[in-house]
Amino acid sequence: MKIIISNQSELPIYAQIKEQLKEQILNGQIPEGSTLPSIRQLAKEVGVSVITTTRAYSDLEAEGFIATMQGKGSVVLSKDNSMLQEQYLLRIEEGLSTAIDTARVMGLSEEELVGIFYNLLHETRNGR
Amino acid sequence: MPEEHGTKKGMIRAMELLEVHNVSKHYKNFSLENIDFVLPKGYIMGYVGQNGAGKSTTLNIITNLCKSSVGEVRVNGITCMEDTVQYKESIGYIGGDFYYPNNFTVRNIRGILKNFYSTFSVEQFNELLHQWKLSDKMKVKDFSQGMKVKLMFAAVLARDTKLMVLDEATNGLDPVVRLEILKLLQEYIADGERSVIFSTHILSDLEQIADYIFFIHDGKKVLYDAKDELLESYLLVKGERRAITPQLQKALVGIMDNAYGFEAILPSDRADLLNHDFHFEKPTIDEIVIHYIKDKEKNG
């Protein structure tokens, strides 16, 4: 787990913490089922206020990334969780939309775009 | 059901570590007026204002060093009147001025603390001294400012206190020691049972760890909120003076001019009044405070 707070960022500190944790949960660096440090522990480590980390965690909870249980702390939820699934689908759509937009800008045909997509799919599959 | 009511009230009380209710104090040339706030268990409050704004007066009323003319202060649920010993045992005070006699050694001070406070732990005190390399035999007059502050912290941390009151305690300290103290304060509140109130006229590095901000000016409350709320409630706006519309003029707080433009604070919910002529960004608490003081000076 990695958190970097920037004073130059336009994002408030709670949002910086939230986005970085979200990113690491989505890309698997923080595995599902793992327990995050407590709100107070994190505040102390990062050097921010307790209210700030509380807000970051409650946002992550509301978006379905973590669940906070009395005595057990905040646990990263399984990827099968429906709210999290939505977040994943949203990410996929965002990524594909960027590709589509770029393809339109350079006047690529739909067939060519789909061709690139399949090629990449095969390449990454063989890569594994 | 009266019983249930009692429990509920007890629970609410148990959440607040420090309650300051309608506290006023009148001097010949200065009045503290209707100061009212609460600080829950496990949180840090920054008590901010200019020199002479009433910060020390408030903190001295909390530590019961001076009495308020009106109002009530509770620490961990009790007033000083109800149980003076318990009240005072639960508070640790650290001031900007060193309050131990200069010709004393650490050993002398330890002897006094041991006799004075029932919860004072010699072992814990010695451990902190060792950790901070404060020699037993040295006279405190030979201490640097940083060492003096650390000694005061050791004296407080070796006791079982619930509320730490810091009155300009980090003034004149170098950044390294300030950072150490920041960590100490966060450590102190880490179990969620204890709280810190610190006064300062410059927030800078302490700003990050504060949960609540109370801003006092001329003995009166100006702002009091969770710090994150405050920071989000305002924008720092910069631009050319002539670009300000009459509507915007009314909404801006504490306009300050320089030769090439102005700077002011704007409530975030009035951001619709801004156009691309203006530059705006997140303010710091210091910037919010400066522009509010400017506004008070202008409009009284």
Task: Output the pLDDT for position B205.
Answer: 66
Helices (H), chain B: 2-15, 55-62, 84-89, 106-116, 122-131, 145-157, 175-189, 204-207, 227-233, 246-251, 285-299
Number of A/B CB contacts below 8 angstroms equals 49
pLDDT tens-digit series, residues A22-65: 989 988 899 999 999 999 999 999 999 999 999 999 999 998 89
pLDDT tens-digit series, residues A3-18: 999 888 888 999 999 9
Task: Output the pLDDT for position B8.
Answer: 43
| DSSP β-ladder status, B163-167 and B195-200 | parallel
Between the alpha carbon of residue B55 and those of residues B32, B199, B286, the distances in Å are 9, 6, 16
Task: Output the pLDDT for position B207.
Answer: 83
What is the pLDDT averaged over residues A102-116? 92
C-alpha to C-alpha distance for B164 and B223, rounded to whole angstroms = 22
Q: Could you read off the pLDDT tens digit of each residue along chain B, which spans 300 residues? A: 333 444 444 444 568 999 999 999 999 999 999 999 999 999 999 999 988 999 999 999 999 988 888 999 999 999 999 999 999 999 999 988 888 888 999 999 999 999 999 999 999 999 999 999 998 888 889 998 889 999 999 999 999 999 999 999 887 788 888 888 899 999 999 999 999 999 987 777 678 899 999 999 999 999 999 999 999 999 999 999 999 999 999 999 999 998 889 999 999 999 999 988 899 999 999 999 999 999 988 876
Chain A residue closest in CA terms to B210: A49
CB contact under 8 A, B227 and A51: yes
- pTM (two decimals): 0.84
Closest residue to A49, CB basis, from B187, B190, B209? B209
Task: Identify the structural domains of chain A with CATH numbers, from first to last.
Answer: 13-76 (1.10.10.10), 82-127 (no CATH)
ipTM: 0.80
Task: Output the pLDDT for position B68.
Answer: 84
Residues listed for chain A:
128
Helices (H), A38-109: 39-46, 50-62, 82-105
Tokens representing residue B30 in the block: 């200065």
CA distance A69 to chain B (A): 17
Task: Output the pLDDT for position B7.
Answer: 42
